[in-house]
């Protein structure tokens, strides 16, 4: 009996014909790649091109047609508003502070979790909790912790005589975390770090565990102490992973608006405003789609260049 | 230079006894190989000597001083890992200097030491390279230089040759021995490869299942194994072991002589059915089944491997049955139950 499909009995039925088509590399390749391409086009490329179009037009929620192009007018208008400089400053400041805190804390947490100790499993589970918690639930918790009247943190500070009459931090009994510019920004950084630390730690931990144990033991035998091993052996080996971790968390933090919208709503005034939330306020809440798109696109070239540089650095450090 | 001594050294992992009361004492400047199959506890023994693990009980002494509980940093023991464990992000120079920098050795002394050690190992032209750009042999030299640069009292080598290509291994073995003869640093050399142990070491400690089996010179181990494990583990192909009932007779492959060439007293004479003959250059190996000469050959004819060192072809072919004898001076006897070496039995076996 011949097994050659050209001379063999012609296959019957739809399924058989589909199976035969799938044997051809061109058909199979297109089928396999299809979903990914559709996904990228529908959810990345189209919105992105649409955003560029919107930012160059005078579209509003009431009249969302990209018909009347106005050039770069939206960008110049946005730049001249007071809120823009605040939002830009806060976006960059918050992202930078979050990344610095994350780098230090994730490296420290990794050193802890890479060791064996009693109850390690429990610590690991507790550690991942912030990442597993829904954003809204986390925000409710933090809104209570940072509440202007009922904050338990304030209460503890009063009990420690740091706050309240005779306290170091003034006679008032409340700090109003979310009602003051710098405390508000500090609170946002703190909550962002709390949320991002599990992800950053897992990325760094994966890199840390891939360092051969013999290399660390060799360093111990060579007479290096904890800090020399950390800074001369572990961190250089982690460099590619750390760069990737910084890139990912930076992109996540700089595009993140849920915490701002839930905690401070950018206030008081625009003092804790960030670009993504302001873009949302302008484009959706106020209905000025064009200006909203312009704000959202503002950081794109900066982020693109930063991402390319980071990826190049990661590749280069990996080469050794 | 130093004398290493382990006393009743034990190490448990939970219920598993990895090292079971090992006593080894080296001489000053001696190279001692610890030879054992994988899982025998030799790596645990080595890690305890280096200070990477603490013994459950027993003591480790360097020049009579106990080093148990002393951090590796403060034990002057240098180690070379199987993988060489070079620091990939540092140049060869920084790799070699690392132990000196860690111990805060002054700059000018660092430079002198670096020059001295790179001179010995002839790696001056590699100093600015990254470890990823080194061949296996070069990596080994850099790892040795990094271990040597700090003037250790004791070297611990963990299979340093097994990650090298087979072609350069014998050359590297010679260089390692030459380095040891020049520096005269007491060395503990851990390996599962008996060729490395036999070829390199002054004395060999054979270890199995955490327990020391025999310590002796390579010749002692080969000629007079203390028990069945050593007899079967040392030598390639291993010693042939024939069950005589109460005792086991051990004979090296080269100790079988064709009957017509033999002279003097024979310990045993057996009929061997040759199954296969192998030409290995300087020698021939013959694989066969013992058909007569020892008890119970009918049910389980034991397999033997014979070795002939000669240029011309053997005078027999596969399929033939021939009579071979083992001279009395070459036969070794072991207790069939305990496996320990025993004196030859009074009555010769027919």
Question: Domain residue spans in chain A?
Answer: 1-55, 72-319
Per-residue pLDDT of chain A (320 residues; tens, 9 = 90+): 444 444 445 557 888 888 888 888 888 888 889 899 999 888 888 888 888 888 877 777 777 777 777 777 777 777 787 778 888 888 888 888 999 998 899 888 888 888 888 888 888 888 888 888 887 788 788 888 777 777 777 777 777 776 666 666 666 666 667 767 777 788 888 888 888 888 888 888 888 888 998 999 999 998 888 899 999 999 988 888 888 888 888 888 887 777 777 777 767 777 777 788 887 887 777 777 777 788 888 778 878 888 888 888 877 776 54
Q: What is the pLDDT of residue A7?
A: 45
Complete DSSP assignment for B211-253: EEEEEE-HHHHHHS-SBHHHHHHSSSSPPEEEE-SSEEEEE-G
pLDDT tens column, B277-291: 888 888 888 998 888
DSSP state of B313: P
> B330 is written with which tokens?
């070459």
B182 located within any domain: yes
> Are B210 and B326 in the same domain?
no
Contacting residues of A for B72, CB less than 8 Å apart: 220-221, 223
Interface test with A, best of B43, B52, B113, B128 (most A CBs within 10 A): B52
Burial of B265 (0-12, 13-18, 19+ CB in 10 A): exposed
Q: Are residues B254 and B124 in the same domain?
A: no
CB A87 within 8 A of CB A298: no
Looking at the structure of chain B, the number of domains it has is 2
- Torsion sign over Cα B292, B294, B298, B304: negative
Q: The sheet that has B332-335: what strands, in order across it?
A: B240-243, B247-251, B332-335, B341-342
Beta bridge partners of B208: B211
Q: Name the residue among A216, A243, A226, A246 with its Cα closest to residue A108.
A: A226
Same domain, B243 and B321: yes
- Is the same domain home to B166 and B257? no
- CATH of residue B132's domain is 3.40.50.300
In this structure, the answer to whether residues B323 and B200 fall within a common structural domain is no
Pairwise CB contact (< 8 Å): A219 & B83: no
pLDDT tier for residue B330 given thresholds of 50, 70 and 90: confident
State residue B213's pLDDT score.
Answer: 92
Residue entry with tokens 């003097």: B264
Residue B323 confidence (pLDDT) above 60: yes
Interface check for A237 against chain B (CB to CB < 8 A): the answer is yes
In a domain, residue B176? The reply is: yes
Report which of residues A173 and B15 the model is more confident about: B15
Structure tokens given for B228: 């069945």
Which residues of A, range 204-223, sit inside 8 Å of B by Cβ?
Answer: 212, 214-215, 217-223
Interior angle at CA A266, CA A260 and CA A268, nearest 5: 135
- Same-domain check for residues B242 and B113: no
Q: Is residue B233 part of a domain?
A: no
Residue B41 lies in a domain: yes
Strands B57-62 and B65-66: antiparallel
Q: Which fold has domain A72-319?
A: MetI-like fold (1.10.3720)
| Residues paired with B190 in a beta bridge | B34, B158
Q: Judge residue A37's burial from the number of C-beta atoms within 10 Å of its C-beta, 0-12 exposed, 13-18 middle, 19 or more buried.
A: exposed
pLDDT in tens, B256-269: 888 877 777 888 88
Contact A224 B51 (CB under 8 A): no
Q: Does the CB of A320 have a partner CB in chain B at under 8 Å?
A: yes
Q: Torsions phi, psi of A314, nearest 5? A: -60, -45
Is the Cβ pair A221, B50 closer than 8 Å? yes
* Residue B168 distance to chain A (closest CA, Å): 24
Give pLDDT tens digits for B335-346: 888 888 888 765
CB contacts of A220 in chain B (<8 Å) are 52, 72-73
How close, in Å, is residue B201 to chain A by CA atoms?
24
Q: What is d(CA B330, CA B302) in angstroms, rounded to the nearest whole number? A: 19
Indicate whether B49 and B88 sit together in one domain.
yes
Identify all chain A residues contacting B79, using CB atoms and an 8 Å cutoff: 217-218, 221
Report the C-alpha gap between B5 and A302 in whole angstroms.
Answer: 65
**Cα dihedral sign, A230-A231-A232-A238:** positive
pLDDT of residue A175: 67
Report pTM. 0.76
* Domain-embedded: residue B62: yes
Q: Do A217 and B81 touch (CB under 8 A)?
A: yes
Q: What is the pLDDT of residue A318?
A: 64
**Residue B18 preceded by cis peptide, ω within 30:** no
CB atoms within 10 A of CB B203: 18
In the numeric block, which tokens belong to residue B320?
A: 């033939």
**B194 confidence band (pLDDT: 50, 70, 90):** confident
**pLDDT confidence bin for B186, thresholds 50/70/90:** very high
User: Are B280 and B154 in a shared domain?
Assistant: no
Q: Does A313 touch chain B (CB under 8 A)?
A: no
Residues contacting B158, CB < 8 A, separation 6+: B43, B46, B79, B80, B81, B82, B190
The C-alpha atoms of residue A204 and residue A212 are separated, in whole angstroms, by 15
| Contact (CB, 8 A) for B188 and B4 | yes
Cβ within 8 Å of B, A 51-80: none
Identify from B88, B94, B142, B154 which residue to disrupt to test chain A contact, counting A C-beta atoms within 10 A and taking the largest count: B88
- Smallest CA-to-CA distance from B206 within B183, B186, B180, B225 is with B225
Closest CA to A94 of A193, A177, A179: A193
Q: Is residue B230 part of a domain?
A: no
Q: Residue range B78-87: average pLDDT?
A: 90
Domain housing B115: 4-223
Of B223, B251, B284, which closes a domain?
A: B223
Specify whether the CB–CB gap between A207 and A238 falls below 8 A.
yes
Contact B252, B345 (CB under 8 A): no
CA-to-CA separations, A263 to A89, A282, A285, A299, in angstroms, rounded: 18, 18, 17, 23
Verify that B29 and B109 share a domain, yes or no.
yes
> Distance, in angstroms, between A314 CA and closest chain B CA?
14
What is the C-alpha to C-alpha distance for residues A90 and A98, in angstroms, rounded to an integer? 12
Q: Would the pLDDT of B350 be above 80?
A: no
Averaged pLDDT for residues B287-303: 79
Beta-carbon contacts below 8 Å between A and B: 60
Mutate to test the interface with B, among A221, A240, A318 (most CBs of B within 10 A): A221
Domain ends where: B171, B190, B223?
A: B223
Joined together, the tokens standing for residue A232 give 């001369």
- Is the CB of residue A153 less than 8 Å away from at least one CB of chain B? no
Percent of chain B with pLDDT over 90: 31
* Chain B positions with Cβ closer than 8 Å to A: 50-52, 72-73, 77-79, 81-83, 85, 87-89, 98-99, 102-103, 130-132, 146, 150
Say yes or no: B25 and B169 in one domain.
Answer: yes
Q: Can you tell me the mean pLDDT for B19-34?
A: 91
* Contact state of B83 with A212 under an 8 Å Cβ cutoff: yes
Q: Is residue B137 part of a domain?
A: yes
Asked if the Cβ–Cβ distance from A223 to B88 is below 8 Å, we say no
């Amino acid at each position: 009996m011949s097994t050659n499909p050209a001379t063999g009995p012609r296959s019957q039925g739809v399924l058989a014909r589909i199976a035969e088509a799938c044997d051809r590399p061109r058909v199979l390749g297109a089928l396999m790649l299809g979903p990914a391409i559709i996904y990228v086009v529908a959810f990345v490329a189209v919105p992105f091109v649409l955003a560029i179009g919107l930012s160059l037009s005078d579209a509003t929620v009431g009249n969302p047609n990209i018909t009347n192009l106005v050039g770069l007018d939206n960008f110049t208008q946005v730049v001249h508003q007071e809120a823009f400089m605040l939002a830009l400053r806060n976006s960059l400041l918050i992202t930078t502070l979050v990344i610095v805190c994350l780098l230090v804390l994730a490296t420290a947490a990794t050193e802890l979790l890479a060791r064996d100790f009693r109850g390690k499993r429990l610590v690991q589970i507790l550690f991942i909790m912030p990442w597993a918690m829904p954003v809204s639930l986390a925000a409710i918790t933090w809104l209570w912790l940072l509440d202007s009247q009922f904050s338990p943190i304030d209460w503890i500070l009063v009990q420690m005589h740091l706050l309240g009459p005779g306290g170091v931090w003034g006679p008032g009994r409340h700090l109003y975390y979310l009602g003051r510019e710098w405390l508000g920004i500090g609170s946002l950084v703190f909550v962002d770090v709390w949320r991002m630390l599990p992800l950053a730690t897992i990325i760094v931990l994966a890199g840390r565990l891939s360092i051969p144990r013999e290399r660390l033991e060799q360093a111990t035998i060579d007479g290096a102490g904890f800090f020399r091993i950390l800074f001369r052996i572990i961190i250089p080996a982690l460099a590619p992973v750390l760069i990737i971790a910084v890139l990912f968390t930076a992109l996540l933090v700089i595009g993140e608006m849920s915490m701002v919208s839930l905690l401070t709503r950018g206030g008081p005034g625009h003092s804790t405003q960030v670009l993504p939330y302001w873009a949302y306020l302008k484009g959706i809440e106020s209905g000025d789609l064009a200006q909203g798109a312009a704000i959202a696109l503002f950081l794109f070239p900066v982020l693109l260049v930063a991402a390319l540089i980071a990826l190049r650095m990661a590749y280069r450090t990996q080469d050794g | 230079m130093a004398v290493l001594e382990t006393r009743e050294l034990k190490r448990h992992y939970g219920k598993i006894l990895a090292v079971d009361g090992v006593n080894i004492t080296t001489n000053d400047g001696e190279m001692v190989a610890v030879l054992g199959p994988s899982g025998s506890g030799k790596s645990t023994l080595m890690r305890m000597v280096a200070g990477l693990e603490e013994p459950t009980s027993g003591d480790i002494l360097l020049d009579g001083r106990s080093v148990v509980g002393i951090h590796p940093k403060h034990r002057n023991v240098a180690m070379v890992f199987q993988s060489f464990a070079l620091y990939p992000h540092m140049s060869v120079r920084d790799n070699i200097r690392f132990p000196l920098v860690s111990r805060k050795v002054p700059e000018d002394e660092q430079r002198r030491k670096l020059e001295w050690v790179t001179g010995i190992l002839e790696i001056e032209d590699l100093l600015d390279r990254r470890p990823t750009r080194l061949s296996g042999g070069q990596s080994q030299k850099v790892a040795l230089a990094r271990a040597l640069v700090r003037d250790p009292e004791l070297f611990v080598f963990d299979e340093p040759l097994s990650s090298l290509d087979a072609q350069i291994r014998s050359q590297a073995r010679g260089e390692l021995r030459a380095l040891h003869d020049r520096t005269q640093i007491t060395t503990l050399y851990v390996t599962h490869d008996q060729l490395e142990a036999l070829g390199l070491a002054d004395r060999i400690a054979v270890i199995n299942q955490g327990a020391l089996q025999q310590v002796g010179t390579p010749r002692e181990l080969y000629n007079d194994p203390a028990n069945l494990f050593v007899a079967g583990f040392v030598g390639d192909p291993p010693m042939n072991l024939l069950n005589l009932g109460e005792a086991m007779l051990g004979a090296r492959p080269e100790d079988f002589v064709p009957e017509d060439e033999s002279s003097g007293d024979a310990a045993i004479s057996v009929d061997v059915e040759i199954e296969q003959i192998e030409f290995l250059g300087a020698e021939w190996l013959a694989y066969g089944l013992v058909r007569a000469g020892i008890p119970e050959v009918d049910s389980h004819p034991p397999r033997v491997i014979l070795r002939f060192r000669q240029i011309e072809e053997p005078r027999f072919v596969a399929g033939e049955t021939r009579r071979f004898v083992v001279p009395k001076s070459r036969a070794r006897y072991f207790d069939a139950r305990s496996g320990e070496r025993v004196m030859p039995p009074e009555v010769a076996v027919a």
